[in-house]
Amino acid sequence: MCSCRRLGGGLVQPGGSLRLSCAASGLWFSRYVLGWFHQAPGKEREFVASIKQGGLSTGYADGVKGRFTISRDNAKNTVLLEMNSLKPEDTAVYSCAADHTWVAGGLLSRNMEYWGKGTLVTVSS
């Protein structure tokens, strides 16, 4: 079962920055691959970023590469997403997720075992 919480969503202007945080409980946190996904209204949920168990390997969707940074703190059971140079097309509900399997090319939402509640990020002037 999922037992996750996130903070940091909200309204930001294009070109601005925002940090999302997800804290998980009920997991052996360090054993899990962590990821961020987003879903815009009327669209399917898409992969955004991932980080391997040890935190040394990361992956990003092409549209966010160079702008977003994922990190984790296993001692705090927390995964972060630092978003910079935000664009209107980044507007979506963002969710953190956890699974056991690392996939270098990007995570699939259908394979994720645990999910956070999700928070809306709106990028608009």
Q: What's the pLDDT tens digit per position in 42-79?
A: 999 999 999 999 999 999 999 999 999 999 988 888 99
Q: Is the pLDDT of residue 117 over 90?
A: no
Q: Which two tokens stand for residue 110?
A: 């259908």
> What was the pLDDT predicted at 8?
80
Average pLDDT, the chain: 90
Q: How far apart are CA 120 and CA 12, in angstroms?
A: 11
Q: What's residue 2's pLDDT? A: 42
Round to whole Å and give the CA distance between 104 and 122: 28
Is pLDDT at 1 greater than 70 in this prediction?
A: no
Of 79-83, 86-90, 114-118, least confident by mean pLDDT is 114-118
Quickly state the pLDDT bin for 105 (edges 50, 70, 90): confident
Angstrom distances, CA of residue 100 to CA of 25, 32, 86, 96: 16, 5, 30, 14
SS3 13: coil
Residue 24 pLDDT > 70, yes or no? yes
Of the pLDDT bands very low, low, confident and very high (cuts 50, 70, 90), residue 107 is very high
